[in-house]
Amino acid sequence: MLYKLWKLARPSPVLLLLTGFLIILSAVSGLASPWIIRYAVDNLILTGRVHLLWMAAMAIIVFSLLQTGCTFAARYLAEYMGQSSLLDLRNKLYRHLNQLSFSFYDSARTGDIMSRLTVDTNILNNFFGFAAINIVTNSLTILGIIIVLFYWNWQLGLAFLLITPAVVHGINTHAGKVQPAFSRLHRQLGKMTNILEESLTGIGLVKLTGSEAYELEKFEQQNREYLLTTMSVLKISSLWQPYVQFLTTLGIAVAMWSGGRAVIEGSITTGVLIGFITYMGMLVRPIRQTGRMVNVVARSLAAGQRIFEVLNWEPDIKDAPDAYPLPPVKGHVCYENVSFSYDGKNQILEEINLTVEPGQMVALVGPTGAGKTTLIHLIDRFYDPVGGSIKIDGHDLKRVTLESLRRQLGIVLQDTFIFNTTIRENIAYGKPSATNDEVERAARLAQIHDFIISLPMGYDTAVGTRGMTLSGGERQRIAFARVLLTNPRLLILDEATSELDAQTEAALHKAIHEVIKNRTVIIIAHRLWTIQNADKILVLSGGRIVESGSHQELLRLDGNYSRFYDLFLQNKKLPDNFDFGGGSQAK
């Protein structure tokens, strides 16, 4: 995992070499002071040449300044490389998330995904910027001290090595316990973020149903679990510092005992003993930081694992290796023996055969769950059929690029999405280069212009998160304007006017009647009067097309459509001035 994280970071080789040089220079500079102290004691203080001590003091200051400067520069470069790596990683993650198929989002939790993209990537910053440089610096410091001690006196070097097995054992034990704990911690944070995201997104439903206490209980329970896991991590981490403190104190005690005897016996000088004890004191910080580095690495490994889980998820729907751009669409759509299942077991669509000629309006009707929305989502390749094929102008959709296909489709769904920005930017979302006149024309066609100009800020009015300041009908009309602005040859409407009152809906259909001429339109509607002029009406039931024909043909058939229409007339009040094309409002 560490190698994968390093490979993912891809630091600049030049900056990496420069940082490495600065780290080595910093470590060497830090090792100079005890050596100078040893020299000063043996060659200046004990020999009475006190007047030369200022030179030793200046040397210590110079090396300290050099160490400080090198440490600052190395840390800055490491942080820069870390932040640059995080920039690339976030972009890569976001790009990958946009490429994943709808099947991923059908099961994924939004809050958990957000946690991986934000919290987990930020944790990796500690690894790329902080942990990596400290691990290298501390390792060089410890290695340098060992070399110096053995160079001075191998017996003193062995005395230091006595504590090494205990330190290594402590590191292994600490890492083995803390990494699984951090993995649990990240999973629980993802769950807590998901609960928060869902409750805030559905705050209206929470308040309407009086479920505040229930949501609070869910959040508090997850928060308690997060706290318990955090405390288990802290318990493990808190043991490390006193453990290291004891080991280093033990090392200094051994040095005092063995080194003092060596001084008395004359095998080492007083300066060597003082230098040795000074080096032992210097070991406290890097060894103590080792525990913290283990925590950072363990947490980074847990975060990296969650990030790679997303990066390893392959999209179900993607361009074929030999995919080509879809030529400008004329509007001929053909379903050939199309079947579909979400779970591979329950068939949603079975053996659908359907041909839509260019310029035709085809309507889909049927009970809830009949497969109407699924049928149109196979055109935009949110999903692919498990059997059969779909072609536009003779081009198999699996052979053309996704971008070229979706760019030529205009789709308005029942559940419209409005971004937290201005009305103008929402309408122009599919065509950012649109002029103000083009945006206004689309808004007029969608019967939303008069409402927009009545607002204090007009088209520059911010609409809030998910368009919460707008009514459902206003959101649908803005979504309609967004699609009309792109001037698609193939228009798909899935209950696109369900939030509109009958009068506004009738006006909208009348206004766009000229727009949809010579365009292929596939429409799903429960208000049957909106589709009675369709060239072809298909009745779906149980994933199959059970009836097909024009409005009048289906009424004469006296089947499912006729019964739907009877129920519609009984329960819906139609506009008095609406032309049914057949004279009578009865079938």
Give me the chain's average pLDDT, please.
Answer: 81
Output 58 or 82, whichever has higher pLDDT: 58
pLDDT attached to residue 587: 35
Is 583 within the bounds of a domain?
no
Residue 573: which pLDDT band, with cuts at 50, 70 and 90? Answer: very low
What's the mean pLDDT in 54-73?
A: 90
Indicate if the pLDDT at residue 201 is higher than 50. yes
Residue 162 has pLDDT above 90, yes or no: no
Do 187 and 166 fall within a single domain?
yes
Cα torsion 261, 262, 266, 271: sign: negative
For residue 378, which of 369, 389, 368, 363 has the smallest C-alpha distance? 389
Q: Is the pLDDT of residue 571 over 70?
A: no
Looking at the structure, tell me whether residues 299 and 213 fall in a common domain: yes
Q: How far apart are CA 212 and CA 228, in angstroms?
A: 24
Taking residue 123's Cβ as centre, other Cβ atoms within 10 Å add up to 20
> Is the pTM of the predicted complex or chain greater than 0.75?
no
Element containing residue 581 per DSSP (H, E): none
Q: Does residue 321 surpass a pLDDT of 70? A: yes
Domain total of the chain? 3
Residue 574, pLDDT above cutoff 70: no
Would 342 be classed as within a structural domain? yes
Among 252, 278, 311, residue at a domain's last position: 311
Query: Of 142, 162, 135, 163, whose CA–CA distance to 246 is shortest?
Result: 163
- If asked whether residues 98 and 138 sit together in one domain, one would say yes
Within a domain: 150: yes
On whether both 219 and 85 belong to a single domain, the answer is: yes
**Helix 284-311 crosses helix 164-201 at what angle (to 10 degrees)?**
40
- CATH code of residue 480: 3.40.50.300
Higher pLDDT, 204 or 137: 137
Judged by phi (left if over 0) then psi (alpha if -120 to 50, else beta), residue 581 lies in: left
Does residue 585 belong to any structural domain of this protein? no
| Domain-ending residue, one of 487, 509, 527 | 487
Residues 34 and 156 in one domain: yes
Confidence (pLDDT) at 497: 64
Give me the pLDDT at residue 396, please: 93
Residues 77, 221 within the same domain = yes
Residue 421 and residue 370 in one domain: no
What pLDDT, on a 0 to 100 scale, did the predictor assign at position 586? 33
User: Are 24 and 136 in the same domain?
Assistant: yes
* Dihedral sign (CA 98, 104, 105, 109): negative
Give the structural domain span for 419.
Answer: 412-487
Q: Do 233 and 182 form a contact (C-beta atoms < 8 A)?
A: yes
Asked whether residue 192 is domain-assigned, the answer is yes
- % residues pLDDT > 70 (the chain): 88
11 plus 122 within the same structural domain:
yes
pLDDT higher at 294 or 483:
483
Task: Output the pLDDT for position 278.
Answer: 85
Give me the mean pLDDT over the 547-564 stretch.
86
Model pLDDT, residue 511: 60
